[in-house]
Amino acid sequence: MKTTGYLGLDVGSISTNLVVMNPQNEVLFETYSRVGGNPISSVQQALLNAQAALGEDIQIAGVCTTGSGRNLIGAVVGADVIKNEISTHARAAIHLHPDVQTIFEIGGQDSKVTLVRDGVVVDFAMNLVCAAGTGSFLDSQAIRLGITVPDLSAKAVLSTAPTSIAGRCTVFAESDMIHKQQTGHRQEDILMGLCHAMVRNFLSNVCAGKEIRAPIVLQGGVSANLGIRRAFSEILKIEPVIPKHHMVMGAYGAALIASKAGIKQTRFRGYELCVRTILTQSFGCTDCPNLCEVVEILDAGQLISRSGGRCRKWDGDMTPRQ
Amino acid sequence: MSMPQLAIEPWGNYSLALAASVECLHVRPWTHTCTTPEILKLGVEASPEFSCLSFKVTTGHFIKAAMEGVEYGVMVNSQGPCRLRYYRMLQQKLLKERGFNLFIFGLGYDGIKPPLIRHFNPTMNDFLRCCFRARLKVVTIDELETAAWTKRAVELRAGDTTRAMNACIKDLDQARTVPEIKAFRKTIPARFNQISVDVNRRPLKVALLGEATILRNSFLNQNLEEILGGLGVEVRNFFLLGEEMRNIFNIGTGSKYGWKAMRKLAKPYLGTPVGGHALASVAHTLRCAQDGYDGVIHVAPAGCMPEISVRPILRKISQDKDIPVFECSFDEHTSQVGLVTRLEAFVDVLYDRKTKKEL
């Protein structure tokens, strides 16, 4: 017998996450994978994995995309709803922990704080032009030390005397770390110092002026890091709650939104899109001095979407270009 | 002898009104309604790294004009502590260093006639004609903008309002004489009424306020008004030149948005002048809280002294009067993605608040 499933896709800067849930909001399938520079092929791979795991019994009845690649992937897979990642993350956290007051979400390039009062989002903030409090900094440090990110996480929690590392700027944090290693500090103490620095940076930049109340939910890719979890509880003196699907909360929230959107006929273009070649190309429109870049998506050579351009004349225009 | 050319800094659609006015001085206007990527690049290259975006952009426009052989330029001044009052002198220097011969006039008062008018010395008749025509065009543009804000939030087909607006602006530019402009003005309601709208949609009402250059230049603010309109938000951009002119020339300052009323309203929060449109930002935020706006978006170029000074005050007002204030700083970046994500989330917050209040 066929059952319905709702698909949530979170296409971020670092990872592509996919969640399929049933109408009772139980997760049927979830996956977290690294984008590796090509969001379309990583989405195709994730969808193939979902198809293999779920078989033909699950009929996709609604799709919601989120993350910085939401518009591109929305056009590629045929999304019914396209939602920003701040709202999907909040939706997921409130659904799993209805009493939540503060949500910390730390991803690859974004870190954000969302304040929730009585189950409604009242305020949020997102990092600006600084990567000091995000996952990509942890990544680059792990690469520099020749260890994996899970290793970094496991080692940091072993520290008994964390060193102090300046967290204002990643470049100076790195020179501070090198200085500590040259003076003979143990690696786990340096790594835990790094986690402290990242959390301090997050709290003083992103959370500046925000009223942090417990319970706090910590989610996003970086929430898997034990060192970061420890740093939060040591600095705030509050143990953050790690939700069940903490790595894929954006996709979870998106699937939740899709399931509640009352979609009658989904625009999902089917699993077949995974095996076709989908390409994007862009051209500079020269009709006015704005010189906008217009992006076209081609599915097996056929134009399926055209967007971009400030005057909006290209939106939805599918006629062949001269 | 050919007519001299005068470069006007970009003031959004109002550039057209300013252009029309200088024609009466027997000067050919040179202007753009919004900045282009090329102009921004020219400005950024020539400007000191830490100057604000408004400086970089206006400098870029003057350089581009000078490259095209324009001899004169005109730049606003400001009173009070904003650095804008020195921009003209600095820009003049930058142009000279690059070997350009473009003289920039200010709009300040020194004596009875501003230097610009003294230089071109138009007849009284021409001068008055210039004033009338400019005023009429400014008021017409105010009317167009207001109509577009309301329609865009409820339009059924995305982009209809923008297309209608673009067509209107083109026609207005063609209208040369006062009777022509008046005739055009009469057609505005009909043209906007052609846009099919969703009568059941109840849009949010959000105020845009802050620094004027960014508010008015759709290239710099990444099409803020359109993004919000597309999200079903009726905006009111608090920089309307018609109102601003009344304040500059001290005509009808007793009105709701006049200086006197604003100063009185802002007094408990801001007692000292900090320049720019800082006083207006504080007063308008308070006014919006009174008038039942759903939220306020405060716009400023990164590093803008007056607007940054009032941000802590706006946060206080936000708490005291229970009105969400969203702060947005703009710099040279051209990617819209970060801004759109934040705006969408802000609009979600406003919708949730509204639904919760109504329950």
Instruction: For B272, list phi and psi in degrees, rounded to 5.
Output: -110, 145
Give strand pairing partners of A10: A17, A66
Please state the rounded mean pLDDT for residues A121-136.
80
Note whether B229 and B161 are within 8 A (CB). Answer: yes
Residues of A in contact with B344 (CB under 8 A): 83-84, 86-87
- Helices B160-174 and B14-23, interaxial angle, to 10°? 0
Q: What is the pLDDT of residues B226-242, one digit of tens each?
A: 889 989 999 999 888 87
Q: Which of B105, B121, B137 is the last residue of a domain?
A: B121
Residues of A in contact with B38 (CB under 8 A): 289, 291
Q: What is the pLDDT of residues B190-223, one digit of tens each?
A: 999 999 999 898 899 999 999 988 998 888 888 8
Q: In what order do the strands lie in the sheet with B5-8?
A: B28-30, B5-8, B72-75, B103-106
The CA distance from A316 to A313, in Å, is 8
Please give the helix or strand (H or E) that residue A294 lies within, else none: strand A293-299
Q: What is the pLDDT of residues A252-273, one digit of tens each?
A: 999 999 999 888 899 898 888 8
C-alpha torsion angle, residues A84, A86, A91, A96 (rounded to 10): 140
Q: What is the pLDDT of residues A12-31, one digit of tens each?
A: 888 899 999 999 999 999 99
Three-state secondary-structure class, residue A65: strand
Amino acid symbol at A238: I
Residue B328 lies in a domain: yes
Write down the domain spans for chain A.
3-88+251-274, 98-242, 276-322
Q: Just give the CATH number of A3-88+251-274.
A: 3.30.420.40
Note whether A255 and A11 are within 8 A (CB). Answer: no
* Residue A14 token pair: 């670092």
State whether A311 and B344 contact (CB < 8 Å).
Answer: no
* CATH superfamily, domain at A98-242: ATPase, nucleotide binding domain (3.30.420.40)
- Give chain B's domain count: 2
* Residue A5 token pair: 């499933």
Residue B1 has pLDDT above 60, yes or no: no
CATH number at residue B223: 3.40.50.11900
Q: Which of B90, B121, B152 is the last residue of a domain?
A: B121
Q: What is the ipTM of this complex?
A: 0.85
Q: Assess whether the region A3-88+251-274 and the region A98-242 belong to the same CATH fold.
A: yes
Q: Which of B101, B121, B141 is the last residue of a domain?
A: B121
Note whether A291 and B37 are within 8 A (CB). Answer: yes
For residue A126, the chain B residue with the least C-alpha distance is: B342
pLDDT value at residue A314:
80
Q: What is the pLDDT of residues A176-212, one digit of tens each?
A: 888 988 999 999 999 999 999 999 989 988 888 888 9
Residues belonging to chain B: 359
- Residue A184 has a CB neighbour count (10 Å cut-off) of 6
Same domain, B343 and B245: yes
Same domain, B209 and B116: no
Using DSSP bridges, classify how beta strands A15-21 and A3-11 pair: parallel, antiparallel or unpaired.
antiparallel
Residues of B in contact with A293 (CB under 8 A): none
State whether B315 and A87 contact (CB < 8 Å).
Answer: no
Note whether B330 and B302 are within 8 A (CB). Answer: yes
What residues have CB less than 8 Å from A305, skipping those under 6 apart?
A75, A76, A296, A297
Note whether A3 and A18 are within 8 A (CB). Answer: no
Same domain, B112 and B221: no
CATH number at residue B75: 3.40.50
Residue B129 lies in a domain: no
Quickly tell me which residue has 């862009």 as its tokens: A282
pLDDT value at residue A1:
59
Residues of B in contact with A120 (CB under 8 A): 352-353, 356
Q: What is the pLDDT of residues B146-191, one digit of tens each?
A: 999 999 999 998 888 988 998 999 999 898 888 999 999 999 999 9
Interface of A with B (CB under 8 A): 68, 83-87, 118, 120-124, 126, 128-129, 209, 289-291, 310-313, 315
Amino acid symbol at A267: R
State whether A86 and B340 contact (CB < 8 Å).
Answer: no
pLDDT value at residue B254:
60
In chain A, count H helices and then E strands. 9, 12
* Residue span of the structural domain in which B103 resides: 5-121
The CA distance from B22 to B29, in Å, is 6
Cα angle value A57/A4/A18 (rounded, 5°) = 90
Residues of A in contact with B351 (CB under 8 A): none
